[in-house]
A and B are shown apart, each in its own frame.
Chain A
Amino acid sequence: MDSLITQSIAWPTLLISLLMFGFAPGAVLRMIVLAFKRDDPRRTELLAELPHVPRIERPFWVCEQLEFALFEGLAGRLAELIGWHRRQAFPGQSPGKDRVSRYLDLLEGFITALRDFQRGRQEQRSIPYLRVGLAAGSRSQTGICWMRVDHRAGLDCGVHVELDELPGVRGQITAISGNEICIRFSAPVRHRNIPATGSLRLSYDDRVYQIQQLAVAILRAGKSVNPQLIRALVDRTFIPFAPSPSVPREIYRLNRDQFEAVIKAYQVPDFLLITSPPGTGRTRTTSEIIDQYARKGERVLVVGATNMGVDNLLAALPNNITTSRIDSPGSLSRNAVAIDPEDIAEASLSATIGQADVVAGTCMGIALSGMTIGQAFDLLVIIEAENVRFPMLSFRWSAPSEWSLSETPVSSRYSWILMCMTGFVGSRMDRSRTGPPSTWKPC
């Protein structure tokens, strides 16, 4: 430091500085303006001003610009240079892509933390069972059975359990009555192989976690069916809506607002949010939108938070639409079609789903159905979207194309989202099989 000070006040240095500022102020100024950012207009402005400064004043004026550039421009220029060097070091990562990576890293961390949290909540204590039997209506002795348990601590519909006596055999509780539980096993198990008494314990089902991981991997690889999806999630950007002159046929059973919502859903390129209070025709409008897509030969996936919402929408669909309804039998509402788990195990599920115009189910039901092999859909309808906890993602929608069925302000509680994306998958349920929900009784 001392040597630098000594050098700077040395006669030769001072002389060179004076000569530079006095005889070549333009050259000095050209170096000074480099302290401003590359696109800063002051770079050109100061150079253009120099010829208008009287020669005698130029050295002093240039000195002033040095001070100006150091205080006003240098910080921004350094930030720009650092950013440039980073881009050189990581040439594949544009700033936008870096944001996507950070978002997905955060999402992955959140998913893992959620899994660890849920796994930690699972009670490891064994629960004794006293009797085992077949579920009513089971044609074979595999897949589903009932048990009388000693106590129900921690047991509930949808909870996964495994048998202590048969390691690796896991199932899901589909119904509960008193101390009796109905278990659907994920793999065929003969009930005679199950000890008459024994114990079971809660089991963490990591299928949701695996699906979430898969979704993140698909997004990270840029292979989502709708390429706009990641931009919508990270940057909240949506493709602008441009009305097209080609509109669907006139739909006389809809009012003007509903009709315009259908047209918009028909034309919007990526996402449409429909909001409306109850009684304004959400179900009718959405069923008409689905009908329009089905008429074009395009496939629709309907998901919702609850079975009731999904079933209500399916009930409003025209009869000529082929529908596959997916979910666990124990959780179906009264409007749902009946299913036989043994039929599901035996039938060609993919073919059935592949032939359906509309596949529907709850988000969790579809995700956990085990049929997670990509079937492409042209339209995804998420009903009561604010209540949906996506198996793959949880996110807020800020400004997609929006249409309200009512002019009154509506709460986001009543929002429905239609999205043209996807690579969702599901297992099958044959809607033509009508009847009550699957029931069971001890035998």
Chain B
Amino acid sequence: MYAKGMRKTFSLVQVAMALMADPGGRHWGYELSKRSGVRSGVLYPTLQRMLDEGWVEDGWEEQGEVRAKRPPRRYYTLTDKGKIELGALLSEAREDARFRSLTRRFA
């Protein structure tokens, strides 16, 4: 059962689907926004709540990883707890008629 502090919304399910598409990988803000289809004005607060819940961890690119002249980017990775919680969330969403159109793609 996922945390009760997070209300199950379309945007949460969309972000969860984008994150769970690559559970072990690094996720970037803009890229996550494009893949989930969630506007950044909604995405970043959602990610912040996930950070608070301990579902994701954040980090910054090492200087060595940055080739072009640009500042290091912030990335997000799923924690073990996050994988379990988001897995449970998507399972519930699959059973929920409201999210069927979304989860069909994920399934």
Central interface residue in A48, A67, A71, by most chain B CB within 10 Å: A48
A61: B residues at CB distance < 8 A: 30, 40
Q: Collect the chain A residues with CB atoms within 8 Å of residue B29's CB.
A: 45-46, 49
Chain A residue numbers with a CB within 8 Å of B73 are: 45, 48-49, 52
**Is B106 in the interface zone, CB < 8 Å from A?**
no
Please tell me if B28 contacts chain A, counting CB pairs below 8 Å.
yes
A-B contacts at CB below 8 angstroms, number: 41
Interface flag for B64 (CB, 8 Å): no
Per-residue B-contact encoding for A60-88, CB less than 8 Å = 1, 0 else: 01001101100110000000000000000
Query: Across the two chains, which residue of chain A brings its CB closest to B61?
Result: A48
Which residues A406-430 have CB closer than 8 A to chain B? none
In the bound complex, what is the Cα–Cα distance between A64 and B30 (angstroms)?
12
B7 at the interface (CB under 8 A from A): no
Q: At the interface, yes or no: A47 with Cβ under 8 Å from chain B?
A: yes
Q: Is the CB of B74 within 8 A of A64?
A: no
Contact across chains for B44 and A53 when beta carbons are under 8 A apart? no
Q: How far is the CA of A64 from the CA of B44 in the complex (A)?
A: 12
- Which A residues are CB-close (under 8 A) to B107? none
Residues of A within 8 A of B41 (CB): 64-65, 67-68, 71-72
Quick one: CB contact mask for B17-50 with A, threshold 8 Å, 1 for yes? 0000000000011110000000111001100000
* Chain B interface SS verdict (over half): mixed
For residue A50, give the distance in angstroms from its CB to the closest CB of chain B.
8
Roughly how many angstroms separate A67 CA and B40 CA in the complex, as a whole number? 9
Answer whether residue B58 sits at the interface, using C-beta atoms and an 8 A cutoff.
yes
Interface size class of chain A, counting residues whose CB lies under 8 Å from the partner chain:
10 to 19
Contact A42 B44, beta carbon cutoff 8 Å: yes
- Whether B40 contacts A48 by the Cβ 8 Å rule is no
Q: Do A68 and B71 touch across chains, with their CB atoms under 8 A apart?
A: no
> Does chain A have a CB within 8 A of B72?
yes
Q: Please list 11 pairs of residues, one from A and one from B, whose beta carbons are closer than 8 Å in the complex, sorted by A's number.
A: A44-B71, A45-B29, A47-B71, A49-B28, A51-B68, A51-B70, A52-B30, A61-B30, A67-B41, A68-B41, A72-B41
User: A-contacting residues of B (Cβ < 8 Å)?
Assistant: 28-31, 39-41, 44-45, 58, 68, 70-74
**Sample of 16 more A-B contacts, CB < 8 Å, known A48-B70, A48-B73, A64-B39:** A42-B44, A44-B74, A45-B73, A45-B74, A46-B29, A48-B71, A49-B30, A51-B68, A51-B70, A52-B31, A53-B30, A61-B40, A65-B40, A68-B40, A68-B41, A72-B44
